[in-house]
Structure 1
Amino acid sequence: MIQAVKNDFEGDARELLDKGFDVNTTDPKGNTLVILAAANRATRTLPALLAYHPKLELRNIYGETALMLAAYRREKGMVTALLAAGAKVNSTGWTALHYAASGGDMDIVNQLISAGADINAKAPEGSTPMIMAAREGKIDVIKRLLSLHADPSVMNENGMTALKWSLKRNDTDIMELLVEANATQ
């Protein structure tokens, strides 16, 4: 079944599910079939899995959910399907918006924000979506977050702010944007 999902063999996956295969089965790294579908861009297989009502908030050993990985992989259709199936947009720790901010897909960022994503959500080490966007040089994401009054002055436990990331990257466009927004170092 795991190989069927990884290879996006929807027919094989559906056949195994119809025979009683547990949709919440995990691999040794804690990846559920839905997480594997998101990680491997198995766009044909995901709807078959969702039809069996998997637990969408289960996380792998890295703390990732299917929604997070779909957001990072820039799979808008998967994000839409997961949200429609009941995936939670906010959670404790890392969120799908952190991953979307890193990936930089504005459609997905906006989709998650429209679904109620916390724009100032803090990861376990204190990073916010703004910090992640600055770390990856995603200026459009930063502009969007600033337009919603996200806090650019948050510092994670490593002492990094969005502005410090822009300095480290020598990204003058992001630096100027954050300075205009009165971000502190």
Structure 2
Amino acid sequence: MLMLNMRKFKKYIVFNVFFMFFSLGFAGSFEDFFKAAELDNESAVVALALRGFDLNSQNEKGDSGLHVGAREGSLKVVSFLLTQRAVRVELHNRQGESPLMIAAIKGHLDIARQLIRRGAEVNKPGWTPLHYAASRAEPDSADMVRLLLEHHAYIDAESPNRSTPLMLAAMYGNRDLVPLLLEEGADPSLRNDQGLTAVDFARRAERDDLAELIAQRLRQRRAPGR
């Protein structure tokens, strides 16, 4: 009986030692994966994939490797991840953001193109990639907006408080975005839950030139015969 108990005890010890080392190895792999995605270390990500690491792993913020790569502009890592069928392109983080939304607000055009080719959703309920792109003030933000519109982004998409991309562009975005969105058919008469229009957004940001441009488009729409 004592011999049997000793055998069980040894098996228990071996199992727990194995589990401890396995857990430590997994923890190290988890950290290595997100660091590699941040630094665009493709070879490290490939090595982890060959070891069976879950490429859909999410960190404490809910970000996946694609989120991190899209944020940091890690084109090589993102390109590799998108070749893996098991990788889910529409994983959302805790803020409800997709990798495409992150790429849109960061202006990483090549990554956005690859995500779209892989099936990333250009249109989704609530905040959309177009909202994010429209709120970016950098000079190249118009290129991202054009890309999304080319792939049928809904130009008057409503956020949870019914704000549209035009409203965000009027308040936060590059000044080229307001005329671009208006030319593409954005509706300047829409109001959000607070009753604010794109004109109000522009005025709140003291962008009087954009407020006048939007107001002019409104007057044109209301002109007799239009």
Match of 1:10 in 2: 42
Mapped pair 1:182 → 2:218: yes
Secondary structure of 2:190's aligned partner:
coil
Considering Cα pairs closer than 8 Å and 6+ residues apart, tell me whether 1 or 2 has the greater RCO.
Answer: 1
Match of 2:63 in 1: 31
From 98, 113, 126, the equivalent of 2:149 is 113
Matches of 2:173 and 2:148, distance apart in 1? 20
Match of 2:176 in 1: 140
Matches of 1:57 and 1:82, distance apart in 2? 9
Identify unmatched segments of 5+ residues in structure 2.
1-32, 220-226
Secondary structure of 2:218's aligned partner:
coil
Question: Aligned residue pairs: how many?
Answer: 183
Please tell me the residue identity of whatever aligns with 1:43.
L
Pairing 1:119-158 to 2, within 5 Å after superposition: 119-158=155-194
From 44, 48, 62, the equivalent of 2:80 is 48
Identify unmatched segments of 5+ residues in structure 1.
none
Matches of 1:165 and 1:23, distance apart in 2? 41
Q: Is the 8 A contact 2:70 2:111 kept in 1?
A: yes
Q: Is the 8 A contact 1:93 1:124 kept in 2?
A: yes
Please tell me the residue identity of whatever aligns with 2:124.
S
Could you give the per-residue CA deviations for residues 10-47 of structure 1, whole angstroms, max 9, x where no partner exists? 11011111221112110111111111111122122111
C-alpha RMSD of the superposition: 1.4
Mapped pair 1:99 → 2:132: yes
Secondary structure of 1:89's aligned partner:
coil
TM-score in terms of structure 1 length: 0.93
Mark the structure with the bigger radius of gyration: 2
Matches of 1:79 and 1:66, distance apart in 2? 8
Report percent identity of matched pairs. Answer: 34
Higher percent of residues as helix: 2
Mapped pair 1:172 → 2:205: no
Match of 2:105 in 1: 72
Matches of 2:189 and 2:70, distance apart in 1? 32
Secondary structure of 2:176's aligned partner:
helix
Shift of 1:68: 0.5
Moved over 6 A (4+): none
Matches of 1:76 and 1:101, distance apart in 2? 14
Matches of 1:40 and 1:148, distance apart in 2? 30
Matches of 2:170 and 2:83, distance apart in 1? 37
Please tell me the residue identity of whatever aligns with 2:136.
G
